[in-house]
Homo-oligomer: A and B are copies of this chain.
């Protein structure tokens, strides 16, 4: 398909940028966690195991900047901030889920192939 490939034109560039953009260590995980609806910062942090405050904040800000996630802060004590997928953000869900499903379904075979390959090379 040309969408993935095309080396020429601004279009290809943008697509590549987005791919790289979403492909970082945390973005897809965070998006996945937002599937269920609005959720607050600390809850998000709990559900994405291993993420640091710094990375969670940066990831959310990036997503907010791109219009994929909306942020609402409630001036209470203690403070509460909720994040939610925007309509645009929701459109990302199907491809992301398809991707995750593929990874889930293929992981066993991939691990097997990997072990096979390593055994062949190590010897």
Q: In the complex the two chains form, what is the Cα distance from A15 to B32 in whole Å?
A: 13
Q: In the complex the two chains form, what is the Cα distance from A3 to B96 in whole Å?
A: 10
Number of A positions contacting B (CB below 8 A) = 57
Q: Which residues of B contact A3 (CB under 8 A)?
A: 32, 97, 100-101, 103-104
Q: Which residues of B contact A101 (CB under 8 A)?
A: 1, 3, 95
Q: In the complex the two chains form, what is the Cα distance from A65 to B91 in whole Å?
A: 33
Q: In the complex the two chains form, is B14's CB within 8 Å of A47's CB? A: no
Number of copies: 2
Decide if A98 is an interface residue (CB 8 Å cutoff). Answer: yes
Decide if A74 is an interface residue (CB 8 Å cutoff). Answer: no
Residues of A near any B CB (own CB < 8 A): 1, 3-5, 7-8, 11, 14-16, 18-20, 22-25, 28-29, 31-33, 35, 47-49, 64-68, 88, 91-92, 94-107, 109-114, 116-118
